[in-house]
A and B are shown apart, each in its own frame.
Chain A
Amino acid sequence: MDDSELQLIRATGKGDHEAFEHLVKRYQNPLLNFVYRYVGNRQTAEDLTQEVFLQVYRAAARFEPKARVSTWVFKIAYNLCMNEMKRRKRLASYELELHMRGEQSLTSLSPDAVEQFGLKQFMMKTLTQLPEKQRAALLLRVTEEFSYQEISDVLGVSRASVESLLFRARERLRQLLARDEME
């Protein structure tokens, strides 16, 4: 347990806005990236990231030091992402869109970079085709470098399940990419 993070959470729980700001600055970019890769939309990711921090602020006083601050914050993010996906599924016109707004424009990139840009864009799209738990496990492991135990805390599943989720996620992603190469 990171003592300074625990102190920040405790101070936030007592209404210390400066401590809250430190906490936000520490997690804002990792959270935004996790959410962005999970939902595949920049604007939604920003809104959800903001909502994560509002929930962190409101629940800080109830934080139990049994959990790590990082896993607790990502658990809130994961739950919000799940709710967002459920909300989208409820919409008849549900469609996963990919917005790369805010990134470099294609015209300003070299041909190699365009190919690279296309590949990354394709990876983002393929990622959103993975089942939700597999996607979350893979993102937490590969891009956030969480341990299996931490992922199990965030997703609320056993460590063995995390191993299985990661195995299936990588296999599925590999198959999806291979299928695209064939086409």
Chain B
Amino acid sequence: MKCREVESKISAYLDDELESRMRESIETHLNRCGKCRKRVEGLRELDALLQELPRVHVVPEFAEKLVLKVRREALSIAKSSTGEHRFLGRLLTLAYDFFDLLEGSKSPRTLTLDEFNDFPPLSMGYIYCTLLKRCGGE
């Protein structure tokens, strides 16, 4: 094996990512080539330097804060979807009421609601029943 071939495989050799036959060939070469041996040693030192780089640590409450953030996010999604449903529900009710108004007192649903005439003033129910009465009166 020549120095040039060893050079191209030197990284995989250092990382123990070579097949055993290739590894043995490189080791045989390194035993008799001081230049390549020196190179391998230099790269090992480089790796050691990288491994010794300062390690940083997260703040102690990092995980807890993150979980809190995620909980809030989940809660706000749940709230917004509830709000959406509520809004859609109101929209649907209004649509039903509108069609009921158009149909006047013929609709059985209108007659049933007409029995409840105790809505708070200016509430949708109050307006609805007032309108119903007017329609029914004519």
Interface residues of chain A, those whose CB is within 8 Å of chain B, are 15, 17, 20-21, 24-25, 28-29, 32-33, 36-37, 42, 45-46, 49-50, 53-54, 57, 100, 102-103, 119-120, 123-124, 127, 138-139, 141-143, 147-148, 163, 166-167, 170, 173-174, 177
Question: In the bound complex, do residue B11 and residue A166 qualify as a contact, i.e. CB atoms below 8 Å apart?
Answer: yes
Any chain A CB within 8 A of the CB of B51?
yes
Query: Per a CB cutoff under 8 Å, which of A42, A119, A141, A163 touches B49?
Result: A119
B17 touches A167 (CB 8 A): no
A138 to B14, CA, bound (A): 12
B53 near A166 with CB under 8 A, answer no
Q: Which of A45, A57, A138, A174 contacts B70 (CB 8 A)?
A: A57
Look across to chain B and name the residue whose beta carbon is closest to the beta carbon of A103: B54
**Chain B interface secondary structure, helix, strand, loop or mixed?**
helix
Kindly state whether residue B42 has any CB partner on chain A within 8 Å. yes
- B1 contacts the other chain (CB 8 A): no
Q: Which of B59-67, B82-90, B91-99 contacts A (4 or more CB under 8 A)?
A: B59-67
Interchain CA distance A46-B58 in the complex, whole Å: 7
Assuming the contacts A120-B52, A120-B53, A167-B11, asked whether A54 and B70 have C-beta atoms less than 8 A apart, the reply is yes
- Interface status of B69 (Cβ within 8 A of chain A): yes
CB <8 Å contact, A147 and B17:
yes
A contact patch SS: helix
* Interface pairs (14), CB distance under 8 Å: A29-B55, A29-B58, A32-B56, A32-B57, A46-B58, A50-B66, A54-B70, A119-B49, A120-B53, A127-B53, A163-B11, A166-B12, A170-B43, A174-B46
List the A side residues contacting B123 at CB < 8 Å: none
Contact among A54, A103, A123, A142 with B69 in the assembled complex (CB-CB below 8 Å): A54
Q: Smallest CB–CB gap between B52 and chain A, Å?
A: 7
B15 interfacial contact with A, CB 8 Å: yes
| Alpha-carbon separation in the docked complex, A24 to B51 (Å) | 23
Instruction: Write the chain B residue with the least CB distance to A149.
Output: B17
Q: Are A173 and B46 in contact (CB under 8 A)?
A: yes
Our pick among B17, B43, B56, B67 for the contact of A163 (Cβ within 8 Å) is B17
Q: Which residues of A contact B12 (CB under 8 A)?
A: 148, 163, 166-167
- Min CB gap A105→B, angstroms: 13
A167 engages B15 (CB within 8 Å): no
Rounded to whole Å, the gap between the CB of B47 and the closest CB of chain A is: 5
* Cβ of B8 under 8 Å from chain A: yes
Q: How far is the CA of A163 from the CA of B71 in the complex (A)?
A: 42
Distance of A142 Cα from B49 Cα, bound (Å): 10
Across-interface contacts of A174 in B (CB, < 8 A)? 42-43, 46
* Known A138-B50, A142-B47, A167-B10; contact A17-B55, beta-carbon cutoff 8 A: no
Report the separation of the CA atoms of residues A20 and B14 in the bound assembly, to the nearest whole angstrom. Answer: 36
